[in-house]
């Protein structure tokens, strides 16, 4: 009778990766050619959990751990508004209307952001930074629970407009600010990009089956430990109930959920979410409480989840049908949570039954 191998590796890491815990165990008692591993830690201001399945024994766990660490650090050094020396922070400090050279990685992010901005009719907008800071939900100002005046909102909105104020030359890896004090915030898409970056590294290592979860945003590949599609539970927006609202089985897909039920403040009996409508400069007020998007990769799922939450189910479903996107809206109507699904999401469920 063979023995199951089970041990833990704990290691403190620098920068934004504070802790990695690796659980390593054999995937089969009959063979030691492959192993499974779980890697957990903290990054990007949240947790991460990565599970790899049937990894060839010659691929060392230390190499996987190192690639994950380096990918997370790289993502932060490109996209993090909280890191003053990141590429995007340096771009934000350039108060000039001239072409700025950007990395291949950032160029890729802007391509996706441009596509979502256009297809969402501007409800996804990378230039929303001034209004996010005004409401106290950004990386500079702490939440003081102060409601901005209409004049303050109007002034901030004059600096917002991805389509109007940001020009991208994707062929030459350049962006141009059309107003010199334009500020870009990538928090609505950066986590998804970081997940995809890790996925590409795992692919390069020859790992064919994995799930990457950073703060609830996910990328899946291949199969799980039962040799089946990955099973994902979608959280109930009513955190008091702590229930799973929906379960999906997916593989080779990204999944992201955006909700207004965790980051908000209440003032004078009114609730103000961190999800800001770029047209009004104010937090959303419609009935949609959360949105889950399943897409070809995590970055697109991440960006679209934000766009659809800003839009709300009424307008969002129209765009989801037009663009053939798998999306689940959870709305609160008459104090009840209602699931609203796009055709692509319904078909996804049928195909996995």
Structural domain of residue 10, as residue ranges?
A: 1-59+188-225
Is 11 within the bounds of a domain? yes
Amino acid 141: pLDDT: 61
- Domain with 102 in it: what CATH number? 1.10.3980.10
Is 115 within the bounds of a domain? yes
Amino acid 239: pLDDT: 54
Question: Do 112 and 171 lie in a common domain?
Answer: yes
Question: Do 129 and 99 lie in a common domain?
Answer: yes
Is 140 within the bounds of a domain? yes
Amino acid 242: pLDDT: 62
Contacts of 3 (CB under 8 A, 6+ apart): none
Between CA 60 and CA 51 the distance in angstroms is: 14
Each residue's pLDDT, cut to its tens digit, for the chain (353 residues) gives 333 222 222 222 223 334 455 555 554 444 589 999 999 998 877 889 999 999 999 999 999 999 999 999 999 999 999 999 999 999 999 999 999 999 999 999 999 999 999 999 999 999 999 999 998 888 776 666 778 999 999 999 999 999 999 999 999 999 999 999 999 999 999 999 999 999 999 999 999 999 999 998 999 999 999 999 999 998 777 656 667 778 999 999 999 999 876 776 777 777 778 899 999 999 999 999 999 999 999 999 999 999 999 999 999 999 999 999 999 999 999 988 899 999 999 998 655 55
Between CA 206 and CA 263 the distance in angstroms is: 38
Strands 254-259 and 288-295: antiparallel
Between CA 201 and CA 208 the distance in angstroms is: 11
- Domain with 315 in it: what CATH number? 3.10.520.10
Q: SS3 letters for 282-295? A: EECCCCEEEEEEEE
| pTM more than 0.85 | yes
Is 24 within the bounds of a domain? yes
Question: Do 264 and 338 lie in a common domain?
Answer: yes
Question: Do 304 and 208 lie in a common domain?
Answer: no
Amino acid 245: pLDDT: 78
Of 198, 225, 252, the one marking the end of a domain is 225
Question: Do 51 and 194 lie in a common domain?
Answer: yes
Q: Which long-range contacts (CB under 8 A, 24 or more apart) does 135-144 make?
A: 135/272, 135/274, 135/276, 135/283, 136/265, 137/263, 137/274, 137/276, 138/81, 138/185, 139/81, 139/82, 139/187, 143/265
Is 8 within the bounds of a domain? yes
Question: Do 245 and 140 lie in a common domain?
Answer: no
Question: Do 260 and 343 lie in a common domain?
Answer: yes
Question: Do 97 and 170 lie in a common domain?
Answer: yes
Question: Do 307 and 249 lie in a common domain?
Answer: yes
Query: What is the count of structural domains for the chain?
Result: 3
Is 76 within the bounds of a domain? no
Amino acid 158: pLDDT: 96
Question: Do 152 and 49 lie in a common domain?
Answer: no
């Amino acid at each position: 009778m063979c023995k199951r191998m089970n041990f833990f590796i704990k290691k403190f890491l620098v920068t934004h990766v504070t802790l990695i815990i690796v659980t390593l165990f054999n995937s089969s008692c009959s063979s030691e050619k492959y192993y499974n591993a779980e890697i957990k830690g903290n990054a990007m201001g949240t947790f991460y959990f990565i599970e790899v399945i049937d990894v060839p024994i010659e691929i060392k766990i230390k190499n996987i751990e190192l690639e994950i660490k380096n990918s997370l650090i790289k993502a932060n050094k490109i996209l993090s508004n909280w890191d003053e020396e990141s590429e995007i922070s340096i771009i934000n400090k350039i108060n000039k209307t001239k072409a700025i050279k950007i990395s291949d990685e950032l160029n890729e992010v802007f391509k996706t952001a441009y596509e979502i901005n256009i297809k969402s009719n501007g409800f996804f907008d990378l230039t929303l930074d001034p209004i996010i800071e005004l409401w106290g939900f950004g990386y500079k100002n702490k939440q003081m629970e102060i409601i901005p005046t209409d004049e303050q909102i109007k002034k901030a909105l004059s600096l917002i407009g991805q389509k109007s104020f940001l020009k991208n030359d994707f062929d030459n890896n350049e962006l141009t600010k059309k107003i010199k004090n334009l500020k870009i915030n990538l928090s609505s898409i950066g986590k998804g990009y970081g997940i995809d970056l890790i996925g590409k590294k795992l692919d390069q290592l020859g790992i064919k089956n994995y799930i990457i979860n950073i703060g609830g945003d996910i990328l899946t590949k291949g199969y799980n430990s039962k040799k089946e599609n990955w099973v994902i539970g979608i959280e109930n927006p009513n955190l008091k109930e702590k229930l799973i609202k929906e379960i999906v089985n997916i593989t080779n897909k990204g999944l992201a959920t955006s909700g207004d039920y965790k980051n908000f403040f209440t003032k004078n009996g009114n609730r103000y979410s961190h999800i800001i409508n770029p047209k009004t400069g104010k937090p959303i007020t419609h009935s949609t409480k959360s949105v889950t998007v399943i897409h070809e990769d995590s970055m697109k799922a991440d960006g679209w989840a934000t766009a659809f939450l800003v839009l709300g189910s009424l307008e969002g479903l129209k765009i989801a049908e037009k663009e053939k996107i798998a999306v689940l809206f959870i709305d609160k109507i008459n104090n009840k949570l209602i699931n609203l699904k796009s055709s692509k999401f319904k078909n996804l469920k049928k195909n996995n039954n």
